[in-house]
Homo-oligomer: A and B are copies of this chain.
C-alpha cells in the first residue's frame, strides 16, 4: 500500500533528524550525515523530501500545529479565565520542556527556513500569540491582572518557557509537573513572599 509505508519512513527520518538539527544546528548538519544516521544513501532522502530545508520545515510545522491545537482546546473550555490561564501555563511549560529536541528548532532555526515556509510559521505564531492575547484580555477586563501591557506579559512568559530548552533536563531535581507549578507561581505571584518584609 503505497503512501502508508512511506509515511512511516518519513516520521522515522524526522525523528532521527530533529535531535541532529537541535544539537548541531541546521547548517552544520549535512545531508551526508543525516543519511548515515538514518541508515540510507544520501540520494534516497530525496525520495521522501524535496530537499534539506523541507525536512526542517515539516518537523517545525508539525510541532507548531500540535501546540496550537491543544492551546485552542484549553481555551475553548468554559472554565474561569483564571483557571484557563493556569491550564495554559501548565500545558505550555510541559509541552516545551518535555520535548526539547523538536521544540528547540521552533525557537532557534526559524531563520534557516525558506522565506515562504518562514511566512507560514510566522503566521501560525501570530495565531498563537492571539490566543494568549485574548486570554489576557479576559483577565484584564475582569480585573484579575494588574495594569501591565498584555504583550509584555505574554512575551515574558514565552521567554521563561522557551529558555527551558537551554537548561532544563528531564530526570533532574525538578520534574515536569514541578517546573510547571513553579513557573505558574512565579508568573502569577512572583518570587517574593507576600508578607512583605522589606529587609
Interface residues of A (CB under 8 A from B): 23-25, 27-28, 80, 82, 108, 111-112, 142-146, 148-149, 151-153, 155-156, 158-164, 166-168, 173-174, 179, 182-183, 185-194, 197-199
Known: A159-B163, A174-B149, A188-B192. A144 touches B199 (CB 8 A): yes
B159–A161 touching, CB < 8 Å: yes
Protomer copies: 2
Known: A163-B159, A163-B163, A199-B144. A189 touches B186 (CB 8 A): no
In the complex, chain B residues whose CB is within 8 Å of the CB of A182: 148-149, 152-153, 156
Report which of B148, B193, B194, B198 forms a contact with A191, defined as CB distance below 8 A.
B148
How far, in Å, is A192 (CB) from chain B's closest CB?
Answer: 5
How far, in Å, is A166 (CB) from chain B's closest CB?
Answer: 8
In the complex, chain B residues whose CB is within 8 Å of the CB of A163: 155-156, 158-160, 162-163
A143–B193 touching, CB < 8 Å: yes
A28–B25 touching, CB < 8 Å: no
How far, in Å, is A45 (CB) from chain B's closest CB?
Answer: 20
B153–A186 touching, CB < 8 Å: yes
Report which of B27, B142, B148, B179 forms a contact with A199, defined as CB distance below 8 A.
B142
How far, in Å, is A154 (CB) from chain B's closest CB?
Answer: 9
User: What is the chain B residue whose CB lies nearest that of A108?
Assistant: B108
